Structure 1
Amino acid sequence: MSADSPREVGERIAARRRTRRLTQTGLATAAHVSYATIRAVERGARRPSDDVLEAVAAALEVDATQLRTGYVGTERRVHHALPALSQVIAGYDIPQGPPTRSADELAEAISAAVAWRLGAQYGQIAEAIPGLLGDAIRYVHTARGAAQQEAARMLVAAARTADAVAFKFGAHDLSARLIDLMRWAADRTADPLVQAVAAYVRTEVFFAARAYPLGLAALEQAVDVAPAPTSRAASAARGALHMRAAVVAGRAGDAPAADTHLRHARELGDQVNTEGTYLGTTFGPDSVRIHEVSVAVSLGPDHVDRALRMATEWKPPTSLPAERRSGFYIELARAQEWAGLHTHAFESLKVARAAAPQHTREHPWARDVAAALRRYHRSDAESLSHFAHWIGAV
């Protein structure tokens, strides 16, 4: 049970509703619950059930943990979805009949799911992704002519969205199978930019196995065959590969390679100029700055000053996707904990949670830092203990 009172939950919902410029009636309609329920919840007269909380969170386009501290319904929904995902992709290369949605409906639903992934809305993804992925697979097998390549592009996006929940919730075998599906679909697009996206995501397999030198080699091969940066999309695809290669090189302890890839990423970020999302991957000057901190932390405690210096000079704008902002503050917290800046580290974890609660809760580094702070840092002990319980560090 959450430590939040019904009034605190209601106040958060009301504040989010007003930010979205919705009336109580509008929120009730969007969430498919009664006006009386919304009114009672907002004034604290009723504690929302899990189903109501999830419905309201979806209508407000936030994760339910931003409305009720300690909410664990998202984990239940994700783990319930994982067997269904496994079943859906078991025979992805076998025709299974027509999809249940039209091409336009499927494209719209996948676009919404990609937005949920960027916003770390894992509960919403878990609810929709098995059926969505199944339809995307069916569409690939039934589309004809020019529509086949577009169907394959949709399947890449759907598989990547499914992989987001599988990888972050520790289902690494399922994640690897979803990445195989991504690569299979990417080859059918005949689009080298989509194939670059698949290579970018494939790195998760090497992260899970801690096979960092192999991951670096795979990314460098992908850079070699990626299109020349003659357009913004091509520059972003190549730049994203360099960003990820820099992090993998850092994990491998190869500082020169990490710096080389960061330099290339920085040049391509400046070439792109404007931060944006390209084929589902966010790239631009701000993303490169975030990865500079990530590389410093990946290289280990000896490089902590590098991460702290970057963080004092720059902070990620709120226009960046929530998951990317959350990742920045989690990695900064790790650097601050290494440097003995315990109060700062805890503040960074709280900022990460505010940006993307579920991403923070499932991030092993956030859990490690919270556990370390609880052992050695005694100021604000009650608040820290609550946080450590919430993230599963105790």
Structure 2
Amino acid sequence: MSTTELAPGANLAALRKERGLSQAQLARKANISVSLLSKIEVGDRTLTPAVAAAVGKPMGLTMAEVMGRAGVAQDAEEQLSALRSAIRDYDLPGGQEVHEGQIGAALETAGRYRDRVDVTRLLAMLPRLLRDATVHAHTANTVEAWMALGEVYSTVYWLAARHRWMDMAELAVTRQRWAAEQKPNPLAVAIAARDRAGTYLNFGDIERGLMVVDRAMADAQAHLSGQERDIAVCILNLRGMTLAGRLTDKREAKREAQRHIESARNANVGIGHDMDVHGLTVGPQNTFTHELATNVDLGRPHDALALTDDLAAALDGLPPTRVAPTYINTARAQLDVGDRDGALESLGIAFDVAPQMARIHPMGREVFRVVSSLHRRSNAELTRLSKLSGIAL
């Protein structure tokens, strides 16, 4: 599995040159302007997910591959191999029986690491947790045990998707769906569909991802009731609005995004306040973070920035895994309106909230590449963020 330390725009330039394509040739094949491609490669414009998907197709690459896979430290390669082995052994439970309380405690620990974006500690514990949850699910054979196993696979998907390890991400969501189907559990099925739609997002296959979301919402509305239905519908709409924001047809994108935004808001009436649901944050605050990000993807940076005049207050109480990406999306919007100093400040907050995200978040790294290029001269904050991200000035 090849990895890159390049920011996405720089990685795109390297991939294009490896294939012997000129900027004009790739731009024509991707149906984008040569000017845009040139600005992206030199660091004057960010490479957005939508453009990454467009330029990836003629090169035979997914959006995730264009953005660049993140690697792990050499001493973590063994842990990654152990995790792959545990995923392969999904129906081969081995080892001593594990009590439900142990699984619950381990899931809480994994949830804390995920919330803090502590991917180093999370990767270290996942192989054992996955094997223990597998044994427990097969032994206990209860709705709760299979739900716990599904939650572990959801966490594996999250970790894999953050690093753009798409082979692992796809396998994780397949196993997650399998676990959800072992006992009747419509909420588990909805969460699995949300994660499966995420793989379509990562691959840049937006239309099919939206199909997965819409089908899952119909199932959730038919088989769930009360707050559980609201939770499932909200979770799926958050994924739906993110997908919609990246549709190529921007008129359709705005229409679809608004449909999912309104549906999520309606579901939030029954949810009330943000809560953790099997490792996922659901509620009005997280809906706000997705609205902001979707507006940026739709090319509406002013609308994104106008959603609140106090971002810190709007995010108060949310975990770093939601706070940091929102500051990164704010930095994207600020960059789009020409506020490079504001973008640098927002990026600094994001990386302070979740330092390990500086090494793995593609848009965070891409915004830093462009901000550092536009500043021309280095300063203390640029130097600090360069060390955090591993991107040379």
Normalising by the smaller structure, the TM-score range is 0.7 to 0.9
Tell me the residue number matched to 1:153. Answer: 147
State which of 191, 200, 213 in structure 2 corresponds to 1:206. 200
Cα distance in 1 between the residues matched to 2:357 and 2:298: 22
Cα distance in 1 between the residues matched to 2:191 and 2:174: 13
Post-superposition Cα deviations, 1:138-164, rounded to whole Å, max 9, x if no partner, equal 222222xxx432221111111112222
Cα distance in 1 between the residues matched to 2:280 and 2:75: 25
State which of 108, 113, 124 in structure 2 corresponds to 1:111. 108
User: How do 1:67-86 residues align onto structure 2 when only pairs under 5 Å count?
Assistant: 75-76=73-74, 78-86=76-84
Cα distance in 2 between the residues matched to 1:163 and 1:331: 22
Tell me the residue number matched to 1:42. Answer: none
Structure 1 residues 189 and 392 mapped into 2: Cα distance closer, same or farther (>3 Å)? farther
Aligned residues, how many? 317
**Bigger CA drift: 162-171 or 239-248?**
162-171
SS in 2 for 1:189: coil
Post-superposition Cα deviations, 1:28-71, rounded to whole Å, max 9, x if no partner, equal xxxxxxxxxxxxxxxxxxxxxxxxxxxxxxxxxxxxxxxxxxxx
Aligned residue type for 2:181:
D
Post-superposition Cα deviations, 1:280-325, rounded to whole Å, max 9, x if no partner, equal 221111111111111111213xx11111111435443331111001
Alpha-carbon distance, 1:365 to partner = 0.3
SS in 2 for 1:282: strand
Cα distance in 2 between the residues matched to 1:299 and 1:364: 18
Alpha-carbon distance, 1:332 to partner = 0.7
Structure 1 residues 235 and 75 mapped into 2: Cα distance closer, same or farther (>3 Å)? farther
State which of 168, 175, 183 in structure 1 corresponds to 2:169. 175
Tell me the residue number matched to 1:227. Answer: 221
Alpha-carbon distance, 1:241 to partner = 0.6
SS in 2 for 1:92: coil
Cα distance in 2 between the residues matched to 1:180 and 1:91: 13
Cα distance in 2 between the residues matched to 1:348 and 1:332: 7
Post-superposition Cα deviations, 1:308-367, rounded to whole Å, max 9, x if no partner, equal 111435443331111001111011111111111001001111111121111243110011
Post-superposition Cα deviations, 1:157-216, rounded to whole Å, max 9, x if no partner, equal 111122222221221111111111111101113110111111111122112211011111
1:361 aligns with 2:359: yes
Aligned residue type for 1:232:
Q
TM-score under structure 1 normalisation? Answer: 0.75
Aligned residue type for 2:257:
A
Cα distance in 1 between the residues matched to 2:269 and 2:88: 42
Counterpart contact for 1:153–1:194, Cα < 8 Å: yes
Cα distance in 1 between the residues matched to 2:93 and 2:237: 38
Counterpart contact for 2:98–2:135, Cα < 8 Å: no
Cα distance in 1 between the residues matched to 2:294 and 2:359: 22
SS in 1 for 2:221: coil
1:236 aligns with 2:231: yes
Tell me the residue number matched to 1:293. Answer: 292
SS in 2 for 1:340: coil
Post-superposition Cα deviations, 1:52-100, rounded to whole Å, max 9, x if no partner, equal xxxxxxxxxxxxxxxxxxxx9974565442211111111312x333445
User: How do 1:1-394 residues align onto structure 2 when only pairs under 5 Å count?
Assistant: 75-76=73-74, 78-93=76-91, 95-143=92-140, 147-227=141-221, 230-252=225-247, 253=250, 254-300=253-299, 303-312=300-309, 314-315=311-312, 316-378=314-376, 381-394=379-392
Alpha-carbon distance, 1:238 to partner = 0.7
Structure 1 residues 76 and 163 mapped into 2: Cα distance closer, same or farther (>3 Å)? farther
Counterpart contact for 1:371–1:388, Cα < 8 Å: no
Counterpart contact for 1:367–1:392, Cα < 8 Å: no
Structure 1 alignment gaps of length 5 or more:
1-71
TM-score under structure 2 normalisation? Answer: 0.76
Aligned residue type for 2:339:
L
Q: Provide the alpha-carbon RMSD of the alignment.
A: 2.2
Aligned residue type for 2:84:
S
Cα distance in 1 between the residues matched to 2:159 and 2:263: 30
Structure 1 residues 155 and 364 mapped into 2: Cα distance closer, same or farther (>3 Å)? same
